[in-house]
Structure 1
Amino acid sequence: MIQTSTLVVKRELLQSIPFKADLQRHHEWDWLIRASVVPGVGIEFAREPLVIWYAEEQRKSVSSKNHWQYSLSWIQELRTLVTPRAYAAFIMTVVGAIAAREGDRHAFWPLLKEAVWVGRPKPIDLALYLGMWLIPQDGRRQIRALVQSIRDRGAKGRLSET
């Protein structure tokens, strides 16, 4: 999860590589991809959460107003700046999720083809992609809750051992 308010960046870098005002979505990813190719600039992630961000599923946002075709075009434009693995993962987990949520069944095969032929997906990307299309949203919520419950129990067990 990357959210603009969670980025910690030097002012000079933001001034030299500004956010694109004309984008309809993916502002953070776009900026990070463009900044990461600047010599001496790197991306680091904190080892532990430093922010809590609440996202309501049905909340209206700039990102929820666009169709999957916009996201596909955006990543295709940046394809030379990302790895084949990242390209495929974005198409399968982000673009695919939008298309599935919109109920555009005609997107299934073209997106899969683009991800496999142009990118380099991992098995987890394929599994997530298929899950988004084949498992109803309520079923995915139940699976997520079950996985989270298992993780929470594992974390509690590790804490009690220390």
Structure 2
Amino acid sequence: MTAVSAVIPTRNRPDLVARAVRSATAQTMTDLEIIVVVDGSDPVTEAALAAIAEPRLRVLVNPLPVGGGEARNVGVRAAHGEWIAFLDDDDEWLPAKLEHQLAEIAASAVDQPIAFCPIVVRGPDGDHAWRSRPTRPGEAASEYLFVRSSLRAGEGTVGTSTIVARRSLLMAVPFEPGLGRFQDADWILRAAAAGAVFVYCPRRLSIWTAPGQRASITAAHATDWRQAADWIGRRRGLVTARAYAAFLLVRVAALAAASGDRSAIRVLWREARRAGRPGVLDVVLFGARWIVPDGFRRRLRRRLAGVRLPLGQT
């Protein structure tokens, strides 16, 4: 059995997916197969992948587009590896990613791990190391993902391209087909409910291309705050009251403010109070979202974006 299967969904981005594949082939852990799932007929991408001389590469083509989550499921079902490592087509792995994460998994002795690591965020102004933190003992997955304890960007980020999990877990708990946004968080919440546990590797091992630099096969669903509120409502049983309120007042409010829909203020506040337990920082961030000028918030975000890395350093 192959140790690890890398699963990369893609559509209409031949140059980017070729770069992602190269980052997978460069892994120091070589017992690896690379499965690219082309989500719908895409002759240009298929040709670009066919030109890569790599015996560990397998290319699957969906007859019709099924979306990012189900494309990952297609790759998982076809995989031969004990472990699945996801990689988005516009992201990259650093060479020792899988080696370090498998070592952390072995040291943890966790039966069903969701292994992840901090990321380097690549944007137009260079690379930033987001200051993510380890999980706390006994911390609910929903609180790690959604509850802010500081103003730092990336504090509870679990990027899809950092995740390593057993194939058996992903077969039992697949990605939700048809879900546009929050695919990774949705899967993590359901996997945690099935007994999976976070395993944190402290090294920065994955490069994430910041929004605005890409247009992924899931990005079209990124702006409707009502869809986001509906999603967390459907997953209410998988999140704590604290996490539910934080998601509404911070994440959903950000989408509403971006659309200029001030009717969301009362809706989100009432629901967070009714069915959640808002924290002080949630309330502060919620108020600031509607009161503080956009320009000031953008400048503050840049200052809190993470450690600026010298050119070429990750």
TM-score range, shorter chain: 0.7 to 0.9
Distance 1:48 1:134, change over 3 A: farther
| Structure with bigger gyration radius | 2
How far off is 1:59 after superposition?
4.6
Distance 1:9 1:102, change over 3 A: same
Quote the offset at 1:137 in angstroms: 2.3
Which has the larger helix fraction?
1
Q: Is structure 2 residue 204 aligned with structure 1 residue 49? A: yes
* Selected match of 1:12 from 168, 171, 177: 168
Which structure 1 segments of 5+ residues have no match?
153-162
CA distance in 2 between partners of 1:17 and 1:145 (Å) = 37
1:70-149 alignment runs, 5 A limit: 70-147=227-304
In 2, the alpha carbon distance for the partners of 1:77 and 1:127 equals 26
Q: Answer whether contact 1:26 1:63 (CA < 8 A) is retained.
A: no
Q: Is the Cα contact below 8 Å between 2:161 and 2:206 reproduced in 1? A: no
1:3 maps to 2:159: yes
Secondary structure of 1:115's aligned partner? helix
Instruction: Using structure 2 for the length normalisation, give the TM-score.
Output: 0.44
* Aligned-residue offset at 1:29: 0.6
Cα distance in 2 between the residues matched to 1:80 and 1:97: 23
Determine the C-alpha separation between the residues in 2 that align with 1:120 and 1:80.
Answer: 14
1:24 positional shift:
1.6
Quote the Cα distance in structure 2 between the aligned partners of 1:142 and 1:20: 36
Alpha-carbon RMSD: 2.1
Report if aligned partners of 1:88, 1:120 keep a CA contact under 8 Å in 2: yes
Q: Give unpaired runs (5+ residues) of structure 2.
A: 1-156, 308-314
| In 1: Cα distance, 2:208 partner to 2:166 partner | 22
CA distance in 1, matches of 2:198, 2:300: 31
* Identity within the alignment, %: 38
RCO comparison, higher one (Cα < 8 Å, 6+): 2
Which structure shows the bigger proportion of residues in strand conformation?
2
Aligned length: 150
